[in-house]
């Protein structure tokens, strides 16, 4: 399907589920971007879930989002259980505006929902020649090191910087071996997942996606990944005033109330210490990595974000391929209201 058609379709569905024209447009845009980035686990596959939650009003379709100024460069947003996309979109725009003025800006968001890919927001800052960190917590998926029970979310960590190249440097990675959305898509399509990514509920390695969802996901790098997921829970949850410690509700399975996810955005001017030399220095830095001798089978050493940039270009031309079962869900959503 052509990208603009996907966007119009999704926007209309969100409007039918009570979102304002502008908020429906923001959400549709991010869902389309996930598809274009080649991350369908965070795109149309989640539309039904968002609509279910909007219908039950555990995502507030008409939120009154409050922005509290704490100092010239620090802001605290109460998202009033809005769509995560909407709150995060406001937050990153405030962070960008204020980092441009004062060199650095920190924006915390509480009472929010699932905001999709962190790179959506990082990319906006990088396009304005800024450096950025984005954090969000997520529902329990990873067992803290030494435990059998999931508590931390897949809690992505995201860093972006201008690269002196058309494609920004954006590392955007879950703290789990694989993001949960990919396991959900595999479970939906009846596909297996590779060994070494998840345990079943008895603590045994599994390749069965459904059993993995009932069990726990393995963190990247053992106790180190578990520690990083913990940091992100502290920064996004404890620090911002949002749910934390395993209390963020699973948007697919738990309809007992809003998720109360937290996000944190830190945006900085990259030239704070080295002035105009920053771009020259980052270019040199990337060049030094890229020209290293490669291992067998590797054509090019990529920097984070390069692959996604390429997929975006290709998908924009090729259009969005929607799996049959997801197309059926979308058709139902489009007809129901
Ligand atoms: N909102 C949420 O609750 C939530 C939770 C978890 C993940 N996510 C999102 O899911 C998305 C996918 O996460 P993921 O962990 O599956 O990402 P991934 O494994 O696809 O990629 C992780 C990072 O590694 C980089 N990378 C990949 N291959 C590379 C290579 N060959 N050389 C150099 N760099 C390379 C990518 O550019 C990316 O920045 C992220 O955008 C994340 O924000 C969201």
For residue 185, the model assigns a pLDDT of 87
108, containing H or E segment: strand 104-112
Q: Mutual orientation of helices 118-127 and 84-102 as an angle, nearest 10°?
A: 30
For residue 172, the model assigns a pLDDT of 97
Distance 102 CA to ligand 1 centre (A): 30
Which ligand 1 atom is nearest residue 305's CA? 37
In order of 69, 89, 286, the CA distances from 31 in angstroms are 29, 13, 30
Q: Is the CB of 134 under 6 A from ligand 1?
A: no
Which ligand 1 atom is nearest residue 174's CA? 15
Q: How far is CA 163 from the centre of its chain?
A: 21
Distance 34 CA to ligand 1 centre (A): 12
The total of other beta-carbon atoms located within 10 Å of residue 231's CB is 14
Q: Is the CB of 154 under 6 A from ligand 1?
A: yes
* pLDDT digit string (tens) for the chain, length 337 residues: 898 899 999 999 999 999 999 999 999 999 999 999 999 989 999 999 999 999 999 999 999 999 999 999 999 999 999 999 999 999 999 999 999 999 999 999 999 999 999 999 999 999 999 999 999 999 999 999 988 789 999 999 999 999 999 999 999 999 999 988 889 989 988 999 999 999 999 889 999 999 999 999 999 999 999 999 999 999 999 999 999 999 999 999 999 999 999 999 999 999 999 999 999 999 999 999 999 999 999 999 999 999 998 899 999 999 999 999 899 999 999 875 5
Distance 337 CA to ligand 1 centre (A): 34
Q: Is the CB of 176 under 6 A from ligand 1?
A: no
Q: Is the CB of 138 under 6 A from ligand 1?
A: yes
Ligand 1: residue whose CA is nearest its atom 25: 304
Which ligand 1 atom is nearest residue 42's CA? 10
pTM (two decimals): 0.95
- Picking from 20, 42, 235, the residue whose alpha carbon sits closest to that of residue 137 is 235
3-state secondary structure 182-208: HHHHHHHHCCECCCCCEECCCCCECCE
Ligand 1: residue whose CA is nearest its atom 19: 173
Q: Residues, the chain, total?
A: 337
CA distance 58 to 153: 20
For residue 10, the model assigns a pLDDT of 97
Cβ-in-10-Å burial (0-12, 13-18, 19+) of 134 comes to buried
Q: Is the CB of 15 under 6 A from ligand 1?
A: no
Q: pLDDT tens across 214-251, in order?
A: 999 999 999 999 999 999 999 999 999 999 999 999 99
Q: Are strands 104-112 and 74-78 parallel, antiparallel or unpaired?
A: parallel
């Amino acid at each position: 399907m052509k990208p603009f058609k996907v966007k119009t379709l999704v926007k209309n569905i969100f409007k039918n589920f009570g979102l304002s024209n502008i908020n429906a447009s923001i959400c549709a845009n991010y869902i389309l971007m996930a598809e274009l980035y080649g991350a369908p686990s965070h795109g149309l596959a989640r539309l039904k879930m968002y609509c279910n939650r909007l219908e039950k009003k555990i995502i507030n379709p008409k939120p009154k989002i409050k922005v509290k100024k704490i100092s010239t460069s620090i802001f605290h947003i109460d998202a009033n259980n809005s769509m995560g996309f909407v709150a995060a979109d406001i937050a990153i725009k405030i962070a960008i505006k204020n980092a441009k003025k004062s060199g650095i800006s920190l924006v915390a968001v509480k009472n929010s929902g699932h905001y999709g890919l962190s790179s959506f927001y990082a990319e906006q800052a990088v396009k304005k020649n800024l450096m950025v960190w984005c954090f969000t917590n997520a529902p329990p998926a990873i067992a803290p090191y030494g435990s059998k029970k999931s508590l931390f979310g897949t809690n992505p960590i995201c860093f972006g910087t201008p690269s002196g190249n058309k494609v920004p440097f954006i590392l955007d990675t879950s703290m789990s071996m694989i993001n949960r959305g990919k396991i959900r898509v595999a479970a939906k399509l009846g596909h297996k997942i590779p060994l070494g990514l998840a345990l079943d509920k008895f603590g045994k390695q599994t390749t069965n996606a459904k059993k993995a969802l009932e069990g726990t996901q393995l963190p990247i790098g053992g106790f180190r990944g578990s520690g990083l997921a913990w940091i992100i829970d502290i920064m996004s949850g404890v620090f911002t005033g949002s749910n934390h410690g395993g209390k963020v509700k699973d948007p697919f399975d738990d309809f007992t109330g809003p998720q109360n996810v937290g996000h944190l955005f830190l945006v900085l001017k990259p030239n704070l210490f080295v002035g105009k030399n920053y771009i020259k220095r980052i270019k040199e830095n990337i060049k030094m990595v890229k020209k290293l001798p490669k291992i067998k089978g590797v054509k090019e050493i990529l920097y984070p974000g390069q692959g996604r940039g390429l997929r975006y270009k290709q998908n924009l031309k090729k259009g969005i391929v929607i799996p049959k079962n997801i197309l059926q869900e979308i058709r139902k959503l489009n007809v129901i209201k």
